[in-house]
Structure 1
C-alpha cells in the first residue's frame, strides 16, 4: 500500500494547515492566475488538493474548481467550508479514469513526487490529457535539496509538534522522511517518500507527457530557478 494512503490523518493535516500562513496561499494563487492569465469562470483541476487551501482561494476568485485528494480527513475539512468546489476522493493513480477536463491543472504544496517513477510519468500524462496548462510547485528538486541536505527539522504548528528526520537514498534518488506528529498524549509516526528529479529531468518528462513549453521559476516573484533555489515552480503548456 502506498505510504500516502494513510499518512494524512488529522495530526499531519492539522500541522500543515497551521504551518502555512494565509498570505502564502494568496501569493501562490496570484502567481498562478497572473502567469496563466485565465479569466474567472475558467475550470481548474487541483490534484492533489489536500485540505483545499488553493482550491478555496481559486473558488473565492470566481474559478470553477475540482479538487481531488485521497485523504478522508483533508476532504472532510475542505467540505466543511462554504464553497462551490467539487471535491472528489481518489488516488492520483486513478486520475486518468476520472475523465476530468479543465483549462488549468495545478499540483501545489510540494505534492508532486509521491508516486513511483512510472506512476509520476503517468500522472503528468493524465494531467496533460485533462488540461492544456499545468502549474507545479515542487520542493524536492535535486538542485534545491542536495546542496544543503535538510537533516532533522522540528516545528510546531496547528497545535501539533512535528519532528522530521530526512535521509537521501542516492540509489533511487528519493528523499525518505521519518515524521513524528504529537498533540497532547497522541502521537503519529509515519514515513514519507518523495522522488527527487533535476529540473532538466522533470522538463523532459513533461515534454514526453505532451507539454511543449516549460518555464521554470524559483519563487512566486518569478526569479529564475537555479542551483540552490529552495523550490521549483513550473509552468507547462501543451
Structure 2
C-alpha cells in the first residue's frame, strides 16, 4: 500500500498511474477551449500567459504553438520534467507552488481543468487567487476553469471500474464535509495501490466570496468550453474570468 505524508495531490499527480488513468482526455476539446478563450480575451499577439498547475503542459504547448509566450508551472516534479522536453525561447516550465506569487507579470493567468480547491488549509485557496492577482499586469485577466460542483454532485456515480492499459482502476466517489472525494485503488505486478482525490466543491457564490476577499472583480462566467451560458443545474463547467 502506497502511503504518503505529502498532500494527496503532491503524490498522486506525481505518480505515473495518474497519467495512465486520465490518458484519454480530449485534446481537441482542450485546444478548442484555448482558441475560444484567447479570442474572447483578445490577448495581444505574442502575449504572455502563465499556465498555473499545468501538469505535463498540454495547454501550454498548444498555446505556445499558436503564438503565445507561455510559462507553465506545477508542483509535480515528474510532470515538469516531462514538459521541459518541449521548452523553447517562448515556452518555459518550472516547479512552483501556485498559492505563492510567481516572479513575473502576465497578460493572462490560466488555472485550468479543476486545478483548484485541493488544499487542506482553506487559507491557501484565497492565497492562490491573491497570487494570481499579483501575477496579472495592468490589462491582464485571470481565468479559473473549475467543475460545476452542483452538477457533479447531482450526477455523482458512487462506484465504477475503469480499465486502462490492463489496469483495473476501482473508483469510489462521495461527498463529505464540502469536499468531493474519489478513492482510487488498483493492483500492478501483485502490488496494491490506493490514492485519493479530494477537491473542495466550490459553488459560484463561494468563489464570489473569495474574489471579494482577494480584491478581484468577476467579469464573466461560462458553463462550457464553447463559452456558453452558465446554468447552475446543468452546466458541466464553471469558467470564471476576473481581473
Q: 2:93 maps to what in 1?
A: 87
2:218 aligned with 1:213, yes or no? yes
- Secondary structure at the residue paired with 1:92? coil
Q: Which runs of 5+ in 1 are unaligned?
A: none
Q: Which runs of 5+ in 2 are unaligned?
A: 1-5
- Output one character per residue of 1:36-82: Cα deviation in whole Å (capped at 9) or x when no partner: 11123111011100010110011111111111111122112211235
- Output one character per residue of 1:69-105: Cα deviation in whole Å (capped at 9) or x when no partner: 1112211221123544211112223x22x32311100
CA 1:202–1:186: 2 relative to 1, 3 Å:
same
- Identify which of 234, 237, 240 aligns with 1:231: 237
RMSD, matched Cα: 2.1
In the alignment of these two chains, the number of paired residues is 231
Which stretch has the larger CA shift, 207-216 or 60-69? 207-216
What is the alpha-carbon distance in structure 2 between the residues aligned to residue 222 and residue 82 of structure 1?
A: 29
- Secondary structure at the residue paired with 1:74? helix
What is the alpha-carbon distance in structure 1 between the residues aligned to residue 182 and residue 154 of structure 2?
A: 17
What is the alpha-carbon distance in structure 1 between the residues aligned to residue 165 and residue 27 of structure 2?
A: 13
CA 1:160–1:85: 2 relative to 1, 3 Å:
farther
Maintained 8 Å contact 1:69/1:75: yes
CA drift of 1:158 comes to 6.3
CA drift of 1:228 comes to 2.6
2:80 aligned with 1:69, yes or no? no
Q: What's the TM-score, normalizing by structure 1?
A: 0.88
Maintained 8 Å contact 2:87/2:93: no
Maintained 8 Å contact 1:13/1:74: no
- Identify which of 198, 205, 213 aligns with 1:200: 205
Q: What's the TM-score, normalizing by structure 2?
A: 0.86
Maintained 8 Å contact 1:167/1:176: yes
